[in-house]
Structure 1
């Protein structure tokens, strides 16, 4: 009894053979046993078996497609012993080399290829070429006399040789296959004068290649007017390290002066504070022309006023607390 996997696989393969018959062969299972298949092979052209029709049998195990079938040739042919199992890599002689992806069509195509060789294996016989040709000529008549053949292939029991299978790719001996012409080499053909102007090759090359570097025009070539573009501003020269440090210290001093003495801030202090808050590093000329004055010059009037106030304060204290000494000093003066 066939397993479910074997039944599905063999049913699918039979439908494939009916829809798309393989070259030179046909096969079908028995109506009461899907594990036993019978096949017919046409003798391949250019061989000793050309013109023969060979009947054989495949017996699949219930574990198919994981185990290979046995292969037997039933029609006398001079290559295989009728009714004996044939040793092939796709038969049950070599289950270790079996591939579950192989199908009935694959097995029978391999059998045809092996039949056309003279390799010796189990199930083969050493028939002479004349014997093989004679058996090929009488193969169809022998098949029609077999009871099982009539039951399995009733449509192929007439006197006419059966026709089955797809087309065979190999040509017969009397057909000469012309070598294919080499592919034409593409050439550049100039366009006729009456046709539309062709696009210059230089334009196509310019569109597909990067632009070449601009060369200096000679005296005979008109200069190319460049497109109007906005020039980028030139970066300001950076000040030396010592000058930058001095500028930062001056800016910090100006900021401290503005923070501690708001009333005394002048134009120079405001400029220093503005420079201190600016992110851009001042240039050398700006630092040289707008350098901040020293603290003594900036606060000299405050110092003078403070000294005058101190003098007057001390004088008033002296007159109040030391009148005699003050009068004596005045008289002496």
Structure 2
């Protein structure tokens, strides 16, 4: 059932129908299929990148307990900020990139700096890893393969964890760079020692069809379209469920370029650069064919300082 759905939404000819896809920009697609999720905004400190949590629209899919969907809580400048962080900062050493083994970038240069000179490396980047580095061969983390987790991304996750009542510590992340022809096959995430912690997912750029199934591949998955700025949290039953991305969809609305909201205009001079189109043009060009997904996990149980053992991911 899961594989059939993946093949259906991946198909280019014929193109799939989106009739059964949940799209939270279209209420008719999810009426009676979701319930609202309450948000705690008591301890929120206003930031340039997020709107006030009292205005967040959060939902849980009724037949997928623990799958929380927050409809774009980011300001437009917030989207630009995190887009640039993913592209410019999270691809810097000592973070690990899929292209490292191919020696495409000189050791003395960062990937984004080099990509401005040689655009052929742009589409070759598929992922970077932060904090505990995910090992794509063994699917096991190691204390010998980690670096300091980015403080700003940790604070972002903490804000959402507080708003939803989760006790969460960001310790590992995979930053996925999906191109318009990219897919992600069905899998479950079992590498972390502490599987009770939720998984936080932040998406920017083009949209994606996301499939969320059950604990086995025999269950037909629910299809959801994820747009730029949307946040997904996988907790409880959904944390260990099969999921996949069979299709990237070119977005019609580039919300990172919409500066009509007064809260998007930064007063701090350091942030003023994000409203300048000339400063963003090189990122905009890359983003035209790109979807960025920051997938953040807690690796260790609370209070544990080192790894003891891990269970590999299970791939279809």
| TM-score scaled by length of structure 1 | 0.20
Instruction: Tell which structure's C-alpha radius of gyration is larger.
Output: 1
Structure whose residues are more often strand by fraction? 2
Query: RCO (CA 8 Å, sep 6+): is it higher in 1 or 2?
Result: 2
